[in-house]
Amino acid sequence: MQSGDVIALRVAGWGTEYLEDTSHRRLVLEYYDREQLPLRRYLLCLGVDQENCREILQETFLRLHQHLLAGGDQTNLRAWLFRVAHNLARNSQTAFHASRTGPLADAMTAGELASGGASVEDELLAKERTVRLHRAMQELSAAQRECLVLRSQGLKYREIAGVLNLSTSTVGENIQRGLERLKDVL
C-alpha cells in the first residue's frame, strides 16, 4: 500500500485495523505464492487426496491470516504453515491412511514422470528406479517418511521437529534410518 492510499483511508475515516488487515492479507498471499507447492507436495505425500489437499491449503492460509490478525509470532511462518497443514491433514479422516494408493502413486504408475530427454532405455530405467524409490518410501514408517518429505522441502531439523512434535535428535534418527532403507532399495 502506498502512502497516498494510507492518507486516503485516513481521510475516509477508516481505522488502523483495516490498514493492518490489508497488510496481513498481502503477506498471506505472498506466502501462498511461495509455499503452496511445497505444502501440496507434503500433503500429497501424506496420502491426502487432491480435493482435501486444496481444502486443507485454503484453510491453512486462512488460519495464517487469523494468526497475523491476532498478533501471532512471525519468526518462522514457513514452519508454522507446515505444522498447521500437518495438523489439519491429521484431523481429516482420509489422510495418513491412504498413503499407499494416493495420487502420487497413481501418477507414478500412470507414467506421468518427466523423462528428462534421455534415451528410451534410460527413460525406462529412470522410471523404474523412481517407481521403486516411491514404493520404498511408502514402506517407511510414517515418521520417517514425513521427516524425509519435510527435509526435501528445505525444512531444517528443528523446524521438522516443530511440525511433527518430535525432538531434533529423533528427526535426525528418522532421516538417517529412512535414507538407509531407501539406499538399500536402490
Partner 1 sequence: MNVPDHLTDDLLVRAFDDELSDREEILVNAHLPGCEGCRQRYGAVRQLSGRIESVIAAGVPDALPNDRDALVERLEAAHVRPAPLPVGRSALRSFRWIGPIAAAVLLALLFVPRLARLLSENPTTASQDRPSATFEVDGETFIPLPYSNPDLPMSAPHIVEMQVPVASLASAGVMFEPVSNEAMASDRSVLADVLVGLDGQPLGVHVLSVE
Instruction: Please state, in angstroms and rounded to a whole number, the distance separating the CA atoms of residues 142 and 114.
Output: 27
CB 140 within 8 A of CB 178: yes
**49 contacts partner 1 (rule: CB under 8 A):** no
Nearest approach in angstroms of CB 120 to partner 1 is: 18
Please select the residue that binds partner 1; options are 5, 14, 72, 139, rule is CB under 8 A: 14
Chain residues 111-140 in contact with partner 1, contact rule CB under 8 A: 112-114, 129-130, 133-134, 137
Return all residues near 114 (Cβ < 8 A) that are at least 6 apart: none
Instruction: Please state, in angstroms and rounded to a whole number, the distance separating the CA atoms of residues 1 and 7.
Output: 10
Which part of the chain contacts partner 1 (CB under 8 A), choosing from 74-82, 87-95, 101-109, 117-125?
101-109
CB 36 within 8 A of CB 81: no
The amino acid sitting at 166 is L
Instruction: Please state, in angstroms and rounded to a whole number, the distance separating the CA atoms of residues 25 and 69.
Output: 9
For binding to partner 1 (CB under 8 A), which residues are involved? 9-10, 12-18, 20-22, 25, 28-29, 32-33, 36-37, 40-41, 44-45, 50, 54, 57-58, 61-62, 65-66, 69, 103-108, 112-114, 129-130, 133-134, 137, 148-149, 151-153, 156-157, 172, 175-176, 179-180, 182-183, 186
